[in-house]
Amino acid sequence: MKPPSLKKLLFRKGLPESVAKTLDALAPGSCLLDMDRSVLWGELICQSMEHPVLLEEEAIGWVAGGVEAKRSADLLSYLAELEREKRAVCQDALEKYKELSLVYALTEKMQASLDSREIASIMLDELRRFFKVTHASLMLFDERCGELKEVAIRGREYSAARTYKPGQGIPGHVFESGRAEVVDNVINDPRSRDEAYIPGSQICAPLKIKEKSIGVVNVTSPQRGRFTAAELKFLSTLAVQAALSLENAMIYEDLADNCTDAIADEDAPRADKDPGLSVLYVEDSRNSRMLVDFYLRKTPYELSFAQNGEEGLLRFQEGEVDVVLMDMEMPVLNGYEATRAIRDYEREHGLPPTPVIALTGHDGDGAAHRCRDVGCTGVLSKPVEKQELFACLRDLARRVHGAPEEN
């Protein structure tokens, strides 16, 4: 990278008066020139000698004058180095602030979810933005089969989920050793020999709870030598936060599965007799999300979450949503505004209307009318009753899939 010009480094607000007086004293009648020989200060005299102002051994400008002007050039070289160091410190502090802000924001998002796949997706989306790459995956260890399994993937080469035994491939080695790694040239790494896709470089960090690994997170690039030690450290920091959230989610998921088995509802929708649905639940309350997640476990309905209307709109625009369950009172963008935005998006793109079911704690016809006025298909009262939710989704599944109504 070429160093900045003398003008950019020291003359953004004009030459400081103290520096001008010092130059006058050191070399009266001298003149400062930028890299393109334009005059920055003083008056250029014919047949002047030009003494370079150096930064990292490259000229960023000149001092024109007699022999004594070299002292001015040396002084400016020293000042330029001080300015460069000051800017480097400021830039480093800014980068650290950005990293801390990202860690805080990401941790808050992950802690608000009790769905391991959703947590994995949140992390990968942020990693892709931070590292400015398109390819990432998160794997969790399944103790039942003794394998690492991809629970969230991003990128074309990750079109099919992969599995690894501990010690197999780079992910398996990182999982087993518990140490994060940067691999600058993956094709020359013997651990990648059996891979269907081999990237240029890879960064991989374990997801650890105390000393136990529960999975790994990978970020790859087609470019060799793409990742730095600082980026490895940052990924490791994020992996620690993700591991804590993932552990809580997995504990909850195991508990919910066991409870669902214990109190199985004979009237609950079943995959062998009810068509499936992709259901997006837009809700800021963690307790409400947990309740609906509990209801819909082991049903043919695939449930995903968004924590406010703005996030819900983005998830909807990504596609593959059959039904939206929309809480109407939320921060950032409430359910009324989000539903309006969904209907606008559908009209602009020529899409058929997706069923949007309002979930509201307000009773009475007025609340229902307001929900329908913004485009909601139906209204359910909160806290939502299990049988009422089942009946609503059964009816919507038949409409979406064109199945005949039950008599």
CB 291 within 8 A of CB 268: no
Residue 37: the pLDDT is: 82
**pLDDT tens digit sequence for 230-262:** 889 889 988 998 998 888 888 777 766 666 554
Q: What is the pLDDT of residues 372-404, one digit of tens each?
A: 999 999 999 888 888 899 999 999 998 888 755
pLDDT at 7 over 50: yes
Specify whether the CB–CB gap between 211 and 178 falls below 8 A.
Answer: yes
Q: What is the mean pLDDT of residues 63-91?
A: 82
188 φ, ψ (degrees, to nearest 5):
-90, 0
Cα separation, 164 vs 167, in Å, equals: 8
Give the residue, 103 or 131, on which the prediction is more confident: 131
Region for 163 from its dihedrals, namely left if φ exceeds 0, alpha if ψ lies in -120 to 50, beta otherwise: beta
Select from 292, 313, 406 the least CA-distant residue to 359.
292
Section 60-89 average pLDDT? 83
Question: Strands of 49-55's sheet, edge to edge?
Answer: 39-41, 31-33, 58-65, 49-55
Burial class, 182, CB count within 10 angstroms (exposed 0-12 / middle 13-18 / buried 19+) = middle
Segment 120-138 mean pLDDT:
86
Sole residue written with tokens 């919507």: 396
Q: Which amino acid is at 356?
A: V
Structure tokens at 342: 């969904």
Q: Average pLDDT of the chain? A: 83
Contacts of 324 (CB under 8 A, 6+ apart): 279, 280, 281, 282, 312, 316, 339, 342, 354, 355, 356, 357
C-alpha–C-alpha distance, residues 66 and 21, integer Å? 17
SS3 384: coil
Q: What is the pLDDT of residue 266?
A: 62
Residue 86, burial from CB neighbour count under 10 angstroms (0-12, 13-18, 19+):
exposed
At 262 the pLDDT is: 47
Q: pLDDT tens digit string along 319-376?
A: 889 999 999 988 889 999 999 999 999 999 999 999 999 998 776 678 889 999 999 9
**pLDDT tens-digit map of 137-154:** 999 998 888 899 988 888
CA atoms within 13 A on the CB side of 256: 19
Q: List, for residues 196-214, the tens digit of each pLDDT value.
A: 678 899 999 999 987 889 9
- 289, 283 contact by CB (below 8 A): yes
Mean pLDDT of 178-189: 93
Catalogue all structural domains in the chain, each as residue range(s) with its CATH number: 6-88 (no CATH), 114-248 (3.30.450.40), 264-401 (3.40.50.2300)
Using only C-alpha atoms, the chain has a radius of gyration, in whole angstroms, of: 30
Amino acid at site 235? L
The pLDDT of residue 402 is 72
Q: How far apart are CA 190 and CA 281, in angstroms?
A: 45
H or E stretch including 363? none
Could you tell me which residue, 294 or 283, shows the higher pLDDT? 283
Report DSSP letters for 324-344, one per residue: EEEESS-SSS-HHHHHHHHHH
| pTM across the whole model | 0.53
